[in-house]
Amino acid sequence: MKIAISYPPIQSEKGVPLLSQNRQFQYFQSPTYIYPVVPAYAATMLKNAGYEVVWDDGIAEEKTFDQWLKDIEQRKPDVLMIESKTPVIKKHWKIISDIKKVLPSSKVALVGDHVTALPLESMQKSEVDFVLTGGDYDFLLLNLVNFLNGKEKQLEPGFWYRENNAIKNTGQFKLNHSLDDLPYIDRELTKWQLYNESNGNFKVTPGAYTMAGRDCWWRKDGGCTFCSWPTLYPTFRVMKPERLADEIGLLIEHYRVKSVFDDTGCFPAGEWLRGFANLMIERGYNKKVQFSCNMRFGTLKREDYQLMKKAGFRMLLFGIESGNQATLDKLNKGTTITGIMEECRLPREEGLEPHITIMVGYPWETRQEALKTLAVAKTLMQKGWAITLQSTVVIPYPGSKLYAEALKNNWFRFDPKDYERFDMKEPVLNTPDMTPEEVMKLCDEIYKVFLTPKYMLRQLTRIRTLRDVKYSVKGVAKVLAHVKDFGRENGS
Protein backbone atom coordinates (compact mmCIF):
# COMPACT_ATOMS: atom_id res chain seq x y z
CA MET A 1 0.00 0.00 0.00
CA LYS A 2 1.06 3.56 -0.67
CA ILE A 3 0.34 6.32 1.83
CA ALA A 4 0.72 10.07 1.28
CA ILE A 5 1.22 12.48 4.16
CA SER A 6 -0.15 15.53 2.40
CA TYR A 7 -0.28 19.27 2.84
CA PRO A 8 -2.15 20.43 -0.27
CA PRO A 9 -1.19 23.96 -1.37
CA ILE A 10 -3.68 26.60 -0.32
CA GLN A 11 -3.45 29.56 -2.61
CA SER A 12 -4.49 32.79 -0.98
CA GLU A 13 -3.70 36.45 -1.46
CA LYS A 14 -3.32 36.55 2.33
CA GLY A 15 -0.02 34.66 2.04
CA VAL A 16 1.33 31.20 2.74
CA PRO A 17 -0.59 29.24 5.40
CA LEU A 18 1.35 28.00 8.39
CA LEU A 19 -0.63 25.11 9.77
CA SER A 20 1.79 22.31 10.50
CA GLN A 21 3.08 21.90 14.06
CA ASN A 22 1.33 25.10 14.97
CA ARG A 23 -0.90 25.81 17.92
CA GLN A 24 -2.18 28.92 16.13
CA PHE A 25 -2.81 29.48 12.43
CA GLN A 26 -1.38 32.35 10.43
CA TYR A 27 -0.79 33.33 6.82
CA PHE A 28 2.75 34.56 6.28
CA GLN A 29 4.00 36.90 3.56
CA SER A 30 7.58 35.73 4.05
CA PRO A 31 6.95 32.01 4.58
CA THR A 32 8.20 30.01 7.52
CA TYR A 33 7.97 26.25 7.14
CA ILE A 34 7.81 24.41 10.42
CA TYR A 35 8.72 20.74 10.40
CA PRO A 36 5.57 18.70 11.14
CA VAL A 37 6.92 16.36 13.82
CA VAL A 38 3.92 14.09 14.45
CA PRO A 39 3.21 13.56 10.71
CA ALA A 40 6.95 12.82 10.32
CA TYR A 41 6.63 10.11 12.97
CA ALA A 42 3.59 8.77 11.07
CA ALA A 43 5.61 8.58 7.84
CA THR A 44 8.52 6.85 9.57
CA MET A 45 6.33 4.31 11.37
CA LEU A 46 4.56 3.42 8.11
CA LYS A 47 7.83 3.02 6.24
CA ASN A 48 9.27 0.87 9.03
CA ALA A 49 6.16 -1.32 8.79
CA GLY A 50 6.94 -1.94 5.12
CA TYR A 51 4.60 0.52 3.41
CA GLU A 52 5.50 2.91 0.62
CA VAL A 53 5.29 6.48 1.91
CA VAL A 54 5.07 9.74 -0.04
CA TRP A 55 6.03 12.87 1.90
CA ASP A 56 3.84 15.34 0.10
CA ASP A 57 4.14 18.84 1.58
CA GLY A 58 2.87 20.88 -1.35
CA ILE A 59 3.04 24.04 0.77
CA ALA A 60 6.72 23.77 1.74
CA GLU A 61 7.56 22.56 -1.78
CA GLU A 62 5.83 25.70 -3.08
CA LYS A 63 3.69 23.88 -5.63
CA THR A 64 0.59 25.34 -7.22
CA PHE A 65 -2.61 23.49 -6.40
CA ASP A 66 -3.01 22.22 -9.98
CA GLN A 67 0.55 20.93 -10.03
CA TRP A 68 0.04 19.24 -6.66
CA LEU A 69 -3.21 17.57 -7.77
CA LYS A 70 -1.58 16.35 -10.98
CA ASP A 71 1.34 14.90 -9.01
CA ILE A 72 -0.91 13.12 -6.53
CA GLU A 73 -3.04 11.73 -9.36
CA GLN A 74 0.10 10.22 -10.87
CA ARG A 75 1.35 8.82 -7.57
CA LYS A 76 -2.00 7.19 -6.78
CA PRO A 77 -1.72 6.77 -3.00
CA ASP A 78 -4.16 4.33 -1.42
CA VAL A 79 -4.46 6.56 1.66
CA LEU A 80 -3.89 10.32 2.06
CA MET A 81 -3.55 11.92 5.48
CA ILE A 82 -4.25 15.67 5.68
CA GLU A 83 -3.68 17.79 8.80
CA SER A 84 -6.22 20.59 9.09
CA LYS A 85 -6.87 23.70 11.19
CA THR A 86 -10.01 25.78 11.64
CA PRO A 87 -9.30 28.55 9.07
CA VAL A 88 -8.68 26.05 6.25
CA ILE A 89 -11.08 23.25 7.13
CA LYS A 90 -13.63 24.34 4.51
CA LYS A 91 -10.86 24.53 1.91
CA HIS A 92 -9.84 20.99 2.87
CA TRP A 93 -13.42 19.74 2.45
CA LYS A 94 -13.34 21.10 -1.10
CA ILE A 95 -9.86 19.66 -1.74
CA ILE A 96 -11.10 16.23 -0.60
CA SER A 97 -13.80 16.44 -3.31
CA ASP A 98 -11.11 17.34 -5.85
CA ILE A 99 -9.04 14.34 -4.74
CA LYS A 100 -12.05 12.04 -4.96
CA LYS A 101 -12.68 13.16 -8.55
CA VAL A 102 -9.22 12.08 -9.70
CA LEU A 103 -8.64 9.20 -7.25
CA PRO A 104 -12.10 7.82 -6.42
CA SER A 105 -10.84 4.71 -4.67
CA SER A 106 -8.22 6.41 -2.47
CA LYS A 107 -9.10 6.86 1.19
CA VAL A 108 -8.67 10.28 2.79
CA ALA A 109 -8.09 10.82 6.52
CA LEU A 110 -8.27 14.16 8.31
CA VAL A 111 -6.32 14.89 11.52
CA GLY A 112 -5.75 17.91 13.78
CA ASP A 113 -7.37 19.89 16.58
CA HIS A 114 -10.37 21.16 14.58
CA VAL A 115 -11.53 17.72 13.50
CA THR A 116 -10.79 16.34 16.97
CA ALA A 117 -13.17 18.94 18.43
CA LEU A 118 -15.80 18.52 15.70
CA PRO A 119 -15.34 15.13 13.98
CA LEU A 120 -18.97 14.68 12.96
CA GLU A 121 -18.97 18.03 11.13
CA SER A 122 -16.24 16.96 8.68
CA MET A 123 -17.85 13.54 8.20
CA GLN A 124 -21.13 15.26 7.30
CA LYS A 125 -19.81 18.16 5.26
CA SER A 126 -17.16 16.41 3.21
CA GLU A 127 -16.38 13.15 1.48
CA VAL A 128 -13.61 12.34 3.96
CA ASP A 129 -13.39 8.62 4.73
CA PHE A 130 -11.83 8.78 8.19
CA VAL A 131 -11.31 11.33 10.92
CA LEU A 132 -8.50 10.43 13.32
CA THR A 133 -9.07 12.25 16.60
CA GLY A 134 -6.52 13.08 19.30
CA GLY A 135 -2.85 13.90 18.98
CA ASP A 136 -1.51 10.35 18.55
CA TYR A 137 -2.65 10.24 14.94
CA ASP A 138 0.72 8.79 13.92
CA PHE A 139 -0.10 5.63 15.90
CA LEU A 140 -3.71 5.74 14.65
CA LEU A 141 -2.68 6.09 11.00
CA LEU A 142 -0.49 3.00 11.25
CA ASN A 143 -3.38 1.17 12.90
CA LEU A 144 -5.71 2.29 10.08
CA VAL A 145 -3.36 1.22 7.29
CA ASN A 146 -2.73 -2.14 8.98
CA PHE A 147 -6.49 -2.54 9.36
CA LEU A 148 -7.18 -1.72 5.69
CA ASN A 149 -4.41 -4.13 4.77
CA GLY A 150 -5.90 -6.92 6.87
CA LYS A 151 -2.98 -6.98 9.30
CA GLU A 152 -5.04 -5.78 12.24
CA LYS A 153 -8.52 -6.85 13.17
CA GLN A 154 -9.87 -3.64 14.64
CA LEU A 155 -9.50 0.10 14.75
CA GLU A 156 -8.32 1.71 17.97
CA PRO A 157 -10.50 4.19 19.89
CA GLY A 158 -10.57 7.65 18.27
CA PHE A 159 -11.69 6.86 14.69
CA TRP A 160 -14.70 8.21 12.83
CA TYR A 161 -15.61 6.24 9.71
CA ARG A 162 -18.44 5.30 7.34
CA GLU A 163 -20.25 1.98 7.17
CA ASN A 164 -23.33 1.23 5.05
CA ASN A 165 -24.05 4.94 4.60
CA ALA A 166 -23.90 5.53 8.34
CA ILE A 167 -21.28 7.52 10.26
CA LYS A 168 -19.75 5.52 13.08
CA ASN A 169 -16.94 5.94 15.58
CA THR A 170 -14.76 3.81 17.81
CA GLY A 171 -15.20 5.99 20.90
CA GLN A 172 -13.04 8.53 22.68
CA PHE A 173 -9.35 8.47 21.66
CA LYS A 174 -6.79 7.21 24.16
CA LEU A 175 -3.32 8.64 24.64
CA ASN A 176 -1.85 5.38 25.85
CA HIS A 177 1.03 4.98 23.40
CA SER A 178 4.52 5.15 24.88
CA LEU A 179 6.67 7.88 23.32
CA ASP A 180 9.73 5.73 24.02
CA ASP A 181 8.37 3.32 21.39
CA LEU A 182 8.59 5.98 18.68
CA PRO A 183 11.25 5.36 16.03
CA TYR A 184 13.87 7.97 15.24
CA ILE A 185 12.30 10.13 12.57
CA ASP A 186 13.46 9.32 9.05
CA ARG A 187 14.57 12.82 8.10
CA GLU A 188 15.37 11.96 4.46
CA LEU A 189 11.95 10.41 3.89
CA THR A 190 10.32 13.53 5.36
CA LYS A 191 12.48 15.93 3.31
CA TRP A 192 13.90 17.69 6.34
CA GLN A 193 15.89 20.09 4.14
CA LEU A 194 12.63 21.86 3.26
CA TYR A 195 12.45 23.06 6.85
CA ASN A 196 16.00 23.34 8.13
CA GLU A 197 16.88 26.92 7.13
CA SER A 198 13.88 29.22 6.84
CA ASN A 199 12.81 29.21 10.49
CA GLY A 200 13.20 32.06 12.97
CA ASN A 201 13.85 29.59 15.78
CA PHE A 202 17.24 28.66 14.31
CA LYS A 203 20.07 31.12 14.82
CA VAL A 204 22.51 28.76 13.15
CA THR A 205 21.57 26.23 10.52
CA PRO A 206 20.87 23.52 9.59
CA GLY A 207 18.28 23.19 12.29
CA ALA A 208 15.94 20.35 13.19
CA TYR A 209 12.81 19.83 15.28
CA THR A 210 12.23 17.28 18.02
CA MET A 211 9.24 16.77 20.33
CA ALA A 212 10.06 15.00 23.59
CA GLY A 213 6.61 15.36 25.11
CA ARG A 214 2.99 15.43 24.05
CA ASP A 215 2.29 18.09 24.58
CA CYS A 216 2.30 20.31 27.65
CA TRP A 217 2.41 19.39 31.31
CA TRP A 218 0.31 22.42 32.34
CA ARG A 219 -2.98 20.59 32.56
CA LYS A 220 -4.30 21.90 35.87
CA ASP A 221 -8.04 22.38 35.25
CA GLY A 222 -7.45 21.53 31.59
CA GLY A 223 -4.56 23.95 30.84
CA CYS A 224 -4.80 27.46 29.38
CA THR A 225 -8.32 28.21 28.18
CA PHE A 226 -7.24 29.74 24.84
CA CYS A 227 -4.83 26.95 23.85
CA SER A 228 -5.89 24.64 21.03
CA TRP A 229 -3.66 21.69 21.84
CA PRO A 230 -5.27 20.46 25.08
CA THR A 231 -7.94 19.31 22.58
CA LEU A 232 -5.36 16.98 21.02
CA TYR A 233 -3.45 16.16 24.19
CA PRO A 234 -5.61 16.44 27.32
CA THR A 235 -2.92 14.56 29.24
CA PHE A 236 0.89 14.74 29.19
CA ARG A 237 3.49 12.11 28.34
CA VAL A 238 7.20 12.43 27.78
CA MET A 239 9.91 10.16 26.42
CA LYS A 240 12.95 9.33 28.56
CA PRO A 241 15.70 12.00 28.62
CA GLU A 242 18.09 9.39 27.15
CA ARG A 243 15.78 8.90 24.17
CA LEU A 244 15.81 12.63 23.34
CA ALA A 245 19.57 12.86 23.90
CA ASP A 246 20.10 9.87 21.58
CA GLU A 247 18.04 11.55 18.86
CA ILE A 248 20.06 14.76 19.23
CA GLY A 249 23.26 12.70 18.94
CA LEU A 250 21.94 11.23 15.69
CA LEU A 251 21.03 14.68 14.36
CA ILE A 252 24.55 15.91 15.11
CA GLU A 253 26.43 12.91 13.74
CA HIS A 254 24.31 12.04 10.75
CA TYR A 255 22.83 15.37 9.66
CA ARG A 256 25.41 17.86 10.99
CA VAL A 257 22.60 19.79 12.69
CA LYS A 258 23.64 22.93 14.56
CA SER A 259 20.31 23.98 16.10
CA VAL A 260 17.59 21.87 17.65
CA PHE A 261 14.18 23.21 18.56
CA ASP A 262 12.12 20.92 20.77
CA ASP A 263 8.46 21.75 20.19
CA THR A 264 6.96 20.09 23.24
CA GLY A 265 4.20 22.55 24.28
CA CYS A 266 6.12 23.08 27.49
CA PHE A 267 9.49 21.41 27.98
CA PRO A 268 9.67 19.16 31.06
CA ALA A 269 11.20 20.63 34.23
CA GLY A 270 12.55 19.14 37.49
CA GLU A 271 14.45 15.83 37.53
CA TRP A 272 13.72 15.17 33.86
CA LEU A 273 15.24 18.49 32.79
CA ARG A 274 18.30 18.03 34.99
CA GLY A 275 18.80 14.49 33.66
CA PHE A 276 18.58 15.68 30.06
CA ALA A 277 20.85 18.70 30.62
CA ASN A 278 23.50 16.50 32.25
CA LEU A 279 23.39 14.09 29.30
CA MET A 280 23.91 17.01 26.90
CA ILE A 281 27.00 18.01 28.90
CA GLU A 282 28.41 14.49 29.43
CA ARG A 283 28.09 13.62 25.75
CA GLY A 284 29.53 16.97 24.60
CA TYR A 285 26.42 17.85 22.57
CA ASN A 286 26.35 21.22 24.35
CA LYS A 287 29.41 22.18 22.29
CA LYS A 288 27.83 21.12 19.02
CA VAL A 289 24.21 22.33 19.01
CA GLN A 290 22.16 25.24 20.25
CA PHE A 291 19.04 23.87 21.91
CA SER A 292 15.80 25.86 22.21
CA CYS A 293 12.36 25.02 23.59
CA ASN A 294 9.04 26.29 24.93
CA MET A 295 8.93 27.00 28.66
CA ARG A 296 6.48 28.28 31.26
CA PHE A 297 6.97 31.04 33.78
CA GLY A 298 6.78 30.04 37.42
CA THR A 299 8.71 26.81 36.92
CA LEU A 300 12.49 27.18 36.96
CA LYS A 301 15.05 28.57 39.40
CA ARG A 302 18.37 30.28 38.78
CA GLU A 303 20.27 26.96 39.21
CA ASP A 304 18.12 25.43 36.45
CA TYR A 305 18.96 28.25 34.05
CA GLN A 306 22.65 27.95 34.91
CA LEU A 307 22.59 24.25 34.13
CA MET A 308 20.61 24.82 30.92
CA LYS A 309 23.10 27.39 29.70
CA LYS A 310 25.92 24.95 30.38
CA ALA A 311 23.98 22.25 28.52
CA GLY A 312 23.76 24.28 25.31
CA PHE A 313 20.27 25.75 25.68
CA ARG A 314 19.83 29.05 23.83
CA MET A 315 16.30 30.39 23.34
CA LEU A 316 13.36 29.82 25.69
CA LEU A 317 9.88 30.72 24.42
CA PHE A 318 7.63 32.05 27.17
CA GLY A 319 3.95 32.94 26.76
CA ILE A 320 3.18 36.10 28.72
CA GLU A 321 -0.25 36.46 27.07
CA SER A 322 -1.32 39.53 29.08
CA GLY A 323 0.01 42.21 31.40
CA ASN A 324 -3.14 42.01 33.53
CA GLN A 325 -3.40 39.59 36.42
CA ALA A 326 -7.18 39.28 36.04
CA THR A 327 -6.71 38.10 32.44
CA LEU A 328 -4.01 35.58 33.41
CA ASP A 329 -6.41 34.20 36.01
CA LYS A 330 -9.30 34.03 33.53
CA LEU A 331 -7.05 32.20 31.06
CA ASN A 332 -6.01 29.71 33.77
CA LYS A 333 -2.42 30.61 32.89
CA GLY A 334 -1.20 29.87 36.41
CA THR A 335 1.33 32.73 36.37
CA THR A 336 1.69 36.15 38.01
CA ILE A 337 2.83 39.47 36.55
CA THR A 338 5.51 39.90 39.23
CA GLY A 339 6.72 36.36 38.60
CA ILE A 340 6.94 37.06 34.86
CA MET A 341 9.20 40.11 35.33
CA GLU A 342 11.54 38.18 37.63
CA GLU A 343 11.53 35.03 35.49
CA CYS A 344 12.52 36.86 32.34
CA ARG A 345 15.43 38.49 34.13
CA LEU A 346 16.91 35.28 35.55
CA PRO A 347 17.42 33.33 32.30
CA ARG A 348 18.72 36.48 30.64
CA GLU A 349 21.25 37.02 33.41
CA GLU A 350 22.41 33.45 32.91
CA GLY A 351 23.00 34.07 29.20
CA LEU A 352 19.83 32.49 27.79
CA GLU A 353 17.60 34.25 25.27
CA PRO A 354 13.97 34.61 26.36
CA HIS A 355 11.44 35.12 23.56
CA ILE A 356 8.05 36.33 24.75
CA THR A 357 4.59 36.19 23.25
CA ILE A 358 1.68 38.47 24.08
CA MET A 359 -1.91 38.67 22.90
CA VAL A 360 -4.49 41.41 22.54
CA GLY A 361 -8.20 41.31 21.72
CA TYR A 362 -9.51 39.60 24.85
CA PRO A 363 -13.29 40.12 25.05
CA TRP A 364 -13.06 41.50 28.58
CA GLU A 365 -9.95 43.71 28.20
CA THR A 366 -10.32 47.45 27.67
CA ARG A 367 -7.91 49.50 25.60
CA GLN A 368 -6.21 50.65 28.82
CA GLU A 369 -5.66 47.04 29.86
CA ALA A 370 -4.32 46.06 26.44
CA LEU A 371 -1.92 49.00 26.65
CA LYS A 372 -0.73 47.62 29.99
CA THR A 373 0.22 44.36 28.23
CA LEU A 374 2.18 46.33 25.67
CA ALA A 375 3.88 48.28 28.46
CA VAL A 376 4.97 45.06 30.23
CA ALA A 377 6.36 43.65 26.97
CA LYS A 378 8.08 46.93 26.14
CA THR A 379 9.71 47.08 29.58
CA LEU A 380 11.02 43.52 29.22
CA MET A 381 12.40 44.27 25.76
CA GLN A 382 13.96 47.58 26.67
CA LYS A 383 15.57 46.24 29.82
CA GLY A 384 17.00 43.50 27.64
CA TRP A 385 15.34 40.75 29.71
CA ALA A 386 13.53 39.49 26.62
CA ILE A 387 15.34 39.30 23.31
CA THR A 388 12.47 38.92 20.88
CA LEU A 389 8.70 39.05 21.03
CA GLN A 390 5.64 38.05 19.11
CA SER A 391 2.31 39.79 19.37
CA THR A 392 -0.89 38.20 18.13
CA VAL A 393 -4.63 38.60 18.46
CA VAL A 394 -6.36 35.98 20.61
CA ILE A 395 -8.20 33.36 18.52
CA PRO A 396 -10.38 30.79 20.29
CA TYR A 397 -10.44 27.62 18.19
CA PRO A 398 -13.24 25.06 18.48
CA GLY A 399 -12.41 22.63 21.27
CA SER A 400 -10.77 25.25 23.48
CA LYS A 401 -12.46 26.38 26.67
CA LEU A 402 -12.34 29.97 25.46
CA TYR A 403 -14.34 29.00 22.34
CA ALA A 404 -17.07 27.46 24.51
CA GLU A 405 -17.06 30.56 26.75
CA ALA A 406 -17.27 32.86 23.72
CA LEU A 407 -20.26 30.93 22.38
CA LYS A 408 -21.98 31.04 25.76
CA ASN A 409 -21.38 34.76 26.26
CA ASN A 410 -22.05 35.78 22.68
CA TRP A 411 -18.58 37.31 22.27
CA PHE A 412 -18.13 36.47 18.57
CA ARG A 413 -18.04 39.37 16.13
CA PHE A 414 -19.45 37.17 13.38
CA ASP A 415 -20.96 33.74 12.84
CA PRO A 416 -18.57 31.38 14.69
CA LYS A 417 -18.92 28.98 11.75
CA ASP A 418 -17.17 31.51 9.48
CA TYR A 419 -14.05 29.49 10.08
CA GLU A 420 -11.97 31.11 7.34
CA ARG A 421 -12.08 34.34 9.37
CA PHE A 422 -10.18 32.67 12.26
CA ASP A 423 -6.95 33.34 10.36
CA MET A 424 -5.57 36.09 12.59
CA LYS A 425 -6.10 38.79 10.01
CA GLU A 426 -8.83 40.29 12.21
CA PRO A 427 -10.16 39.81 15.76
CA VAL A 428 -12.76 37.10 16.15
CA LEU A 429 -14.12 38.45 19.43
CA ASN A 430 -15.70 41.78 20.37
CA THR A 431 -13.81 43.92 22.87
CA PRO A 432 -15.36 46.44 25.30
CA ASP A 433 -14.09 49.69 23.76
CA MET A 434 -12.03 49.06 20.62
CA THR A 435 -12.90 48.60 16.96
CA PRO A 436 -11.40 45.55 15.20
CA GLU A 437 -9.03 47.90 13.35
CA GLU A 438 -7.84 49.38 16.64
CA VAL A 439 -7.18 45.91 18.05
CA MET A 440 -5.07 44.98 15.01
CA LYS A 441 -3.22 48.29 15.13
CA LEU A 442 -2.41 47.75 18.79
CA CYS A 443 -1.24 44.22 18.02
CA ASP A 444 1.30 45.58 15.54
CA GLU A 445 2.20 48.68 17.53
CA ILE A 446 4.49 46.68 19.80
CA TYR A 447 6.81 45.74 16.91
CA LYS A 448 7.89 49.35 16.76
CA VAL A 449 9.80 48.75 19.98
CA PHE A 450 12.34 46.94 17.77
CA LEU A 451 12.85 50.14 15.84
CA THR A 452 13.65 52.39 18.82
CA PRO A 453 17.25 53.60 19.20
CA LYS A 454 17.37 52.13 22.74
CA TYR A 455 16.53 48.62 21.53
CA MET A 456 18.82 48.81 18.52
CA LEU A 457 21.73 49.97 20.67
CA ARG A 458 21.15 47.06 23.03
CA GLN A 459 21.12 44.66 20.07
CA LEU A 460 24.40 46.08 18.80
CA THR A 461 26.03 45.46 22.17
CA ARG A 462 24.98 41.79 21.96
CA ILE A 463 26.77 41.17 18.67
CA ARG A 464 29.79 38.95 19.22
CA THR A 465 30.14 36.99 16.00
CA LEU A 466 29.33 37.20 12.30
CA ARG A 467 26.45 34.79 12.95
CA ASP A 468 24.96 37.28 15.43
CA VAL A 469 25.13 39.99 12.75
CA LYS A 470 23.33 37.76 10.23
CA TYR A 471 20.66 36.79 12.78
CA SER A 472 20.06 40.43 13.82
CA VAL A 473 19.84 41.61 10.20
CA LYS A 474 17.34 38.83 9.43
CA GLY A 475 15.33 39.87 12.53
CA VAL A 476 15.23 43.55 11.56
CA ALA A 477 14.22 42.64 7.98
CA LYS A 478 11.32 40.57 9.37
CA VAL A 479 10.16 43.43 11.60
CA LEU A 480 10.26 45.89 8.71
CA ALA A 481 8.32 43.44 6.51
CA HIS A 482 5.77 43.05 9.29
CA VAL A 483 5.28 46.81 9.80
CA LYS A 484 5.07 47.28 6.01
CA ASP A 485 2.45 44.52 5.68
CA PHE A 486 0.44 46.11 8.44
CA GLY A 487 0.58 49.51 6.70
CA ARG A 488 -0.65 47.96 3.45
CA GLU A 489 -3.47 46.05 5.11
CA ASN A 490 -4.69 49.14 6.91
CA GLY A 491 -4.17 51.52 4.05
CA SER A 492 -1.96 53.86 6.12
Q: Note the residues at the interface with ligand SF4 (CB under 6 A).
A: 216, 218, 223-224, 227, 229-230, 265-266, 296, 319
**DSSP β-bridge partners for residue 353:** 315
Work out how close the CB of 195 gets to ligand SF4 at its nearest, in angstroms, rounded to a whole number: 21
Considering the complex, state which of residue 202 and residue 229 has its C-beta at the smaller distance from ligand SF4.
229
Torsion, Cα of 483, 485, 490, 492 (10° steps):
60
Distance separating alpha carbons of residues 118 and 6, to the nearest angstrom: 21
Distance separating alpha carbons of residues 398 and 407, to the nearest angstrom: 10
Distance separating alpha carbons of residues 394 and 428, to the nearest angstrom: 8
Work out how close the CB of 219 gets to ligand SF4 at its nearest, in angstroms, rounded to a whole number: 7
Considering the complex, state which of residue 190 and residue 264 has its C-beta at the smaller distance from ligand SF4.
264
Work out how close the CB of 313 gets to ligand SF4 at its nearest, in angstroms, rounded to a whole number: 18
Work out how close the CB of 356 gets to ligand SF4 at its nearest, in angstroms, rounded to a whole number: 13
Work out how close the CB of 331 gets to ligand SF4 at its nearest, in angstroms, rounded to a whole number: 8
What does R_g of the chain's alpha carbons equal in angstroms?
A: 22
Considering the complex, state which of residue 224 and residue 429 has its C-beta at the smaller distance from ligand SF4.
224
Considering the complex, state which of residue 142 and residue 224 has its C-beta at the smaller distance from ligand SF4.
224
Considering the complex, state which of residue 39 and residue 265 has its C-beta at the smaller distance from ligand SF4.
265
Give the H or E element holding residue 148.
helix 137-148
**DSSP β-bridge partners for residue 109:** 81, 130
Work out how close the CB of 135 gets to ligand SF4 at its nearest, in angstroms, rounded to a whole number: 12
Give the H or E element holding residue 101.
helix 89-102
Number of helices (H) and strands (E) in the chain: give both, helices first.
Answer: 16, 17
Report CA-CA distances (Å) from 426 to 103, 307, 395, 486: 37, 42, 9, 12
Distance separating alpha carbons of residues 193 and 77, to the nearest angstrom: 23
> Contact, 21 vs 34, CB < 8 A?
yes
Considering the complex, state which of residue 143 and residue 400 has its C-beta at the smaller distance from ligand SF4.
400
Considering the complex, state which of residue 57 and residue 262 has its C-beta at the smaller distance from ligand SF4.
262
Work out how close the CB of 266 gets to ligand SF4 at its nearest, in angstroms, rounded to a whole number: 5
Work out how close the CB of 217 gets to ligand SF4 at its nearest, in angstroms, rounded to a whole number: 8
Distance separating alpha carbons of residues 417 and 398, to the nearest angstrom: 10
Considering the complex, state which of residue 115 and residue 402 has its C-beta at the smaller distance from ligand SF4.
402
> Contact, 47 vs 63, CB < 8 A?
no
| Closest to 80 in 3D by CA, of 179, 148, 164 | 148
> Contact, 363 vs 406, CB < 8 A?
yes
